[in-house]
Amino acid sequence: MRRLCCRFPLSYQPFDCPEVFSASGTCQRMEITNVMEYEAIAKEKLPKMVYDYYASGAEDEWTLQENREAFSRILFRPRILIDVSKIDMAATVLGFKISMPIMIAPTAMQKMAHPDGEYATARAASAAGTIMTLSSWATSSVEEVASTGPGIRFFQLYVYKDRNVVEQLVRRAEKAGFKAIALTVDTPRLGRREADIKNRFTLPPFLTLKNFEGLNLGKMDKTDDSGLASYVAGQIDRSLSWKDVKWLQSITSLPILVKGVLTAEDASLAIQNGAAGIIVSNHGARQLDYVPATITALEEVVKSAQGRVPVFLDGGVRRGTDVFKALALGASGVFIGRPVVFSLAAEGEVGVRKVLQMLRDEFELTMALSGCVSLKDITRNHIITSSRL
Ligand code: FNR
């Protein structure tokens, strides 16, 4: 195993670390200075099947790359000589006060990354004063995550063909104190993730999709394809439509965030059908390839929403500058996906805490250097998008 050396950046590791290194092969003196550095450590530590599942996108992975590149095409128009000695990053999401507009997106099966899995993520989010979204396909149940202690948590919902399963799960999430449902609407079928097909991806046999354990749906069979794609084909309701958003409201009083909106048309429909908020998401580029980066799609959705409901974004957020750019284009907050699983793999709860802290620090610095002291100061005029360059 390569021993990563703290004397060189992760992108340039000419030889194995001659210093102290941990059992995982990571030099203990390694200074992590940004969120992206966790990916190389995760790649080294995790079995290939798991790393590939976390890292990959659909088909050509054009959107995966674009989710990052589109951020790099947005530049700043910073304002100067503004007193930035005090910066307030506090945000309010669906009436809940959080310490910063950076939240945790649902990512499935976190115990493949670290034995503490979703517990570690829940604790790290709560320590940072922000929201964690728990995936339907978590390897810890809603009750288990609730038992980690206080914290504002949302529950991400996949709608199964068997609506009794869905009803039970939503009630359990409500009872466990989850505050909103993020309804994922971009997955009537699973996107074609070629790495998972090649690896015959499946949930390792020592783990279960904990929320479904008692319902006989917690295991995933190994197939000669992606085991997850087969599971989705068997269980997930492809007929899901807007009327089901109404149905969901009839079985729960929790607010519903529609996750996976990329167009103005669907933003209007989401609002007409009672959504409490919209998440502009392309599922981390894991579903339909060649959809635009979320930061590119954000503005049309924001315009269509006309301030009636908050609009959030996920996809490729790796820097505090990305968070600022999303807010300047009208987002009320952002969610992060892969940085959580990669930092979990590297360092468990400590890693997730560091990711949240680094993004917080970078975002605060971006606000200061742009002349913004609170979120409401961040405007469209603080950035230049490529059409205006
Ligand atoms: C996801 N995502 C996801 N979304 C969802 O609604 N339910 C889920 O169970 C999962 N699981 C999942 C696993 C992994 C490994 C990844 C990378 C992503 C999508 C996720 O919520 C979010 O939309 C993206 O991860 C955001 O993009 P970034 O931050 O990963 O670039």
In a domain, 40, yes or no: no
SS3 128: coil
Residue 346: predicted pLDDT: 97
In a domain, 37, yes or no: no
In a domain, 311, yes or no: yes
Q: Is the CB of 133 under 6 A from ligand 1?
A: no
Rounded Cα gap, residues 245 and 248, in angstroms: 5
SS3 148: coil
Same domain, 230 and 349: yes
Q: Which residues are annotated as a binding site for FMN?
A: 106-108, 135, 156, 158, 184, 259, 281, 314-318, 337-338
Check residues 223 and 63 and name the one with the higher pLDDT.
Answer: 63
**Could you tell which of 137, 158, 286 is best to mutate to test the pocket of ligand 1, judged by most ligand atoms within 8 Å of the CB?**
286
The pLDDT of 210-216, averaged and rounded, is 91
The answer to whether 132 and 122 are in contact (CB under 8 A) is: yes
- 158-175 per-position pLDDT tens digit: 999 999 999 999 999 999
Any residues with CB less than 8 A from the CB of 240 and at least 6 apart, and which? Answer: 159, 185, 188
Same domain, 98 and 247: yes
Same domain, 197 and 132: yes
- 97 φ, ψ to 5°? -85, 125
Distance 135 CA to ligand 1 centre (A): 9
Same domain, 80 and 120: yes
Residue nearest to atom 25 of ligand 1 (CA): 337
Query: Does the pLDDT of residue 99 top 80, yes or no?
Result: yes
Query: Does the pLDDT of residue 10 top 90, yes or no?
Result: no
In the chain, % of residues over pLDDT 70: 92
Residue 7: predicted pLDDT: 54
Residue type, 92: T
- 130-156 per-position pLDDT tens digit: 999 999 999 999 999 999 999 999 999
Domain span at residue 12 reads 1-31
- Residues with catalytic annotation? 283
Query: Does the pLDDT of residue 281 top 70, yes or no?
Result: yes
CATH number reported for the structural domain that contains residue 160 in this entry: 3.20.20.70
In a domain, 57, yes or no: no
Residue 347: predicted pLDDT: 97
Any residues with CB less than 8 A from the CB of 9 and at least 6 apart, and which? Answer: none
Q: Is the CB of 135 under 6 A from ligand 1?
A: yes
In a domain, 340, yes or no: yes
Same domain, 74 and 144: yes
Count of domains forming the chain: 2
Structure tokens at 74: 């947005």
> 4: which strand partners?
26
In the chain, % of residues over pLDDT 90: 88
Which residue do the tokens 């600022």 mark? Answer: 324
Distance 82 CA to ligand 1 centre (A): 38
Same domain, 149 and 240: yes
Residue 5: predicted pLDDT: 57
